[in-house]
Structure 1
Amino acid sequence: MADPSQPDDPGFLTNFQVDRKSLLTRDIGERLLALSPSPVLLLDMKSASIIEANPAAQAIFGSAQLPLVGTHFMHCFRHPEDGKHILDERLEHVALQYFVLGAGRHLPVELDLRRLDDAGVILVFIRDLTSRLALDNQRLIAQRNYRLLFDNAPQPMMLLDKGFVIVGANRAAAILYGFADNEIPLLSLKAMLVNPRDLDQYRVQLDPRTLAPQWHWRTDGSQRLIEPSVSTLRRERQTFLLVVLRDVTDSEHQIAELRRAEERWRFALDGHGDGVWEWLPQSGEAIVSQRFLDMLGFGVEDARHPFDYWDARVHPEDYLRMHLAIMQHFLAESPVIAGEYRMMTVDGQYRWLAIRARAIETDASGRIDRIIGTVRDVHEQRRQEQRERLQQEQLMHTARLATMGELVTMIAHEVTQPLTAISNYSAVARRHLQRQGDSVPADATHALNRISELVSHAGEVVHRIRSFVRKGELRLEPISINVLIVDVARLAEIQARALSAEIDLDLAIGLPELTGDRMQLGQMLLNLARNGLEAMGAVDGPRRLKLRSALNSENEITVEVEDCGCGLSAALAMDVITPFFTTKPEGLGMGLAICKTVVENHQGRLWVSAAKPAGTVFHVALPVR
């Protein structure tokens, strides 16, 4: 007996199994619909109407569930025939379509369709493309703007691929190379290079760089000097070279012409005997011409040195003056640097050079970039000027000496008369006292005798001065130098007492006599002694004048007059015996010069040295005859 719970028709069992499978498949679809966070629609395959829509799908359309369910799938599209085409062609993926939303709005979407044939349904997965399309739109706008910028940029630019083929160029580049229609065809950069080996400079590097100028061909066969700037550019997973081109042909021609002009200028200056020098203050480098080097005795290897190298060779006395001229030019207070300065030669000597320079280049901030100048050797001219100046001074000295001779003659004449009167009056007074007999004090007689001696001595001095000025003959006689020194000390004693000074004698014994004019030699020594006493007038402490005599190895009698005054510098020691040179406010500068002449008239020598620890020593050496 058949089991009533089992159906008798086997077909029913088959249909039951199919329905159960379809229900199971549909249940899986509904579960996917509920669990998916992305918008999902469930369509009936036969009617193409929406059976189910998850909340994310409802949010897209902005409607409640019931109005969306039952809507035909084609009515979701901006163009319903697009929906029909998708269903008829059984498409599984649609990259872009537009759904119709409320208020006339359209939603860009990407669709993925999965057919569950057993259940008779279609799962439609929806992806909102609004943000992606906005980005794509921005990218397209940016690309369009970049292209506009690239095409219309005033600087010529090219885009090269990894094979150095020109895959893009703007209008400025096409005009630079002379292409018609302002467009460069696809061609290799190598074909545009005059020297194909320049292509090696375009190797891909990460850092932008400017290449050395290189010659490029134009379509008309002419050449232009181009300075390329290269940088890398990644686009669509490819690496390109962006090349910005700068035409420096005209600038190079101008620089070349400037160099030729400078060469002509340097040639003209060298031909005139002037040297040329160039200074770059920003780098500190100095460049000098061969003529400049010849003036100072340097070789060609010294043509380039830092400016400080030459600056250190300026004479210390001219250094500040030269730098003051440079500073005034840098501060725009002087249009040129000009002056005559001494510079040390290679052998350590100094030569006078006339320097003249000016700034010819400045940077954007106004700082001086380049100074060019000339230098001329004026050493011989300076020496000639010095010789002429010395000759002029000697002529002036001669004229003053002639005037002095006339004055001395006149003064001697005027002094002789009162001296004669004094001598006569003292003689009368002495005879008058002699008549008085023993009642006359001895001091009065001694005083009158002393007056007669001094008047006689003064008269002799005046006579010798007149003879000296008139170049009269010397009155030669044997002289004991020690006796002469004692007489001089006695005459200088009055002045020494007035200055609270002492006179020390250190006389060698047994000195031979010398032949000379007693009056002139005595006056010479007295003048030296008085100078020494006057030099100690401002000295605090003991004041001592030393007179020494000796016989040297050359058979000369030497006399030294040493004071302890303030002394003389090395420079003054060389000039102090020069005529008309004096350190005294009221002095004439003739005393020591006359002393020197007296000594030289006796074939002797007069010189000066420093005393120790302080003071001055005048040395006199006279030959023994």
Structure 2
Amino acid sequence: MKKTLHVLIIGHSEEEAALLGEELGRGGYDIFLERVYSSSTMIEALSRHSWDVVLSEYKLPRFSVLAALELLRKNAPATPLIVVSEERDDEALVAAIKAGARDFILKQRLERLLPAVKAALAEKKAPAPGIDGGHFETRLKLALEVNNSGLWDWNVETGEIHFSSQWEAMLGFREGEFTPNLHTWEALLHPEDKTAVNHALNEHLEGRTPYYETEHRLKSRKGEWIWVQNRGRVVERDEEGRALRVIGTYTDISSRKRAEASLRLKTAEFETIFNAIPEAVVFSNNKREITLANPAFCALFEYPPDELEGKSEEIFYTDPKDFRNAANSGPEANGKEAIPAREILFKKRTGRTLTGEKLETPVQDAQGNRIGFLSIIRDVSARRKNGDVPKVQETNYRRLFEEDLTGNFIISPQGAILTCNPSFARIFGFASVDEAMKGNFFDLNPDPRFKASFLELLRKEKKLESHELELQRRDGKTVYVVQNVIGEFGENGDLQSIRGYVFDDTRRREIESQFVQSQKMESLGTLAGSIAHDFNNLLSVISANSEILLMKMNSEDPLRKAAEQIKQTSRQAAILTHQILTFSRKQVVQPRVIDLNEVVENVAKILLRLIGKDIEMHTILNPDLGKVKIDPVQIEQIIINLAVNARDAMAGGGKLTIGTNNVTVDKEMAGKHIDAQAGLYVLLAVSDTGTGMDSETLKHIFEPFFTTKKKGKGTGLGLSTVYGIVKQNKGFIDVYSEPGKGSIFKIYLPRQAEGQ
């Protein structure tokens, strides 16, 4: 009877976990797997089950492998943990082994997994001398050896370097034949690599880089050049910051470099032949997505080369059934034999059709697994007569036209929409195709010059590719489109009709605008924070000296009033610098898990005095509100700043409402905000019935020192402070406002999972 191996997986995908289980199953085990992703789910799994081994990724999205090792030490100290990593990282390897990991295995070398697990299980039963949890150096040495790596230890003051035995073996030196110091090591460096190596090393010694890393060549005892990857880090500095000791690792990467050079040569040879083939040739993966097409293919189907990669082959078929037959049916789809040539009616990028003879053969990897298809298409339209093309193709073309996600259209030179598909109507806000066809294309842009300039450009160029336009939907909202259009001209050169399609590019433009704004705010924050720190130092001197002056003056001193004014002004300036530091996210904070409702209720008492009697204040708080992790003082700053702005916008009185709720942010909403992640959030909403803001003001409200108030009535840092706090706590803000309709600020803060 097979022994069941209970394996806890941390962080790997479902497919990767299945692969790990399959690899371990080769050892004659029945495999029981469970996957966890966070500290809380790991603790829960450890509490209800006994695990034979834990397999973890090194880079985890929600917590680190070092934290996982600590949890294992506290809850199941005898259970071994093995790191299975995508990348070879010597620093990660050292850190993991030092923290207690039993081994460090690359995903590319999974053949090591089963022996490593067996060794860990044997060690668990009866720890072998020198390989138990307390012998970090031994386990590290073993891990480095199987990963083809070694250690070096450099005394910077004396120049002495200690190399592990693998280093001498790598270069072919006998034991004791090589004098281990900096000068002899530099003598082995390739002349072309010395400048780069010395620069990288000096940069790290001076503290300008977090670690030292280079790939360079060393001369072996036989005079051959060996490629090595060298990584290191300063582990000891003196009181003045000078480096005293550096420890690192090295790896022989000569095989990789030779493989890369060979691959470059073979790639160049392949590209020369592939590009010279006169027939249309295309490679696609098992999903029928194009991975590579030669120039003849691009020319035949009238596509630029950079537009084809990743597109489905389906875009070339006029009849979807032909594509489905090719992709999904019969032994041809799943087998490894070449598919006989057959004639198919294809369509080009412009919509024109061609009859092509297609020959297809599967492509296999070194293990014989099919990884895609190679297709050759020959244009045989010339040998077809008009009557040979089935009339049913017109029906298929119409169906494709109707179902296309881009907005297809044909218009007259005067702008009358002669025909269009449902996507065109949807993009421009028409209720139906019939309603769209009652309109005029040139009315989609209110600029009276648009029609003349568009027609002039089309008559000159004959066709417009990737032409960007700013148009208006039927409801007046701006829509950005990218269009491809072709003019149909008569024999005398007059423009008879215009056909083309438009793609809605509004979403990309919005994201691009958000990114630019985010970068600008980040730059302003960095600049403001640097200035604020220096300014704060100056204020400390001014404030301290004003205190000294006041201590030495009596109450009748004629200069006392001036000294008191200096002190008061320095305090006000200190408040400003604190706000600037908040915006730049450089102030010291003490975040903790809090109930947002409690903070709102406490601040509300202060706000009643702050906003005045003319303004009604209401709170709408969700009693089952989730917790957030933030410094409560920062929440108070957010609420007070927004409330003060609302008060100033309601000079004649009004209503201020503060609300809280639990919300779920989906991918679509998160995609509208740079750095926002989909998930569970707590919402803090502050709304007023004040004057509101126009769209131009909304673009600038979070910029430091921007204010719409009169001179002397505001610093322009209130909303900048709010922005800085929210960003610092991994949240985001939505603002809704229109002139005369008030404003609402929605603050989204990540909700803490229960038990955290």
TM-score, with structure 1 as normaliser: 0.35
Larger Rg over CA atoms: 1
Which of the pair is proportionally richer in helix? Answer: 1
TM-score, with structure 2 as normaliser: 0.30
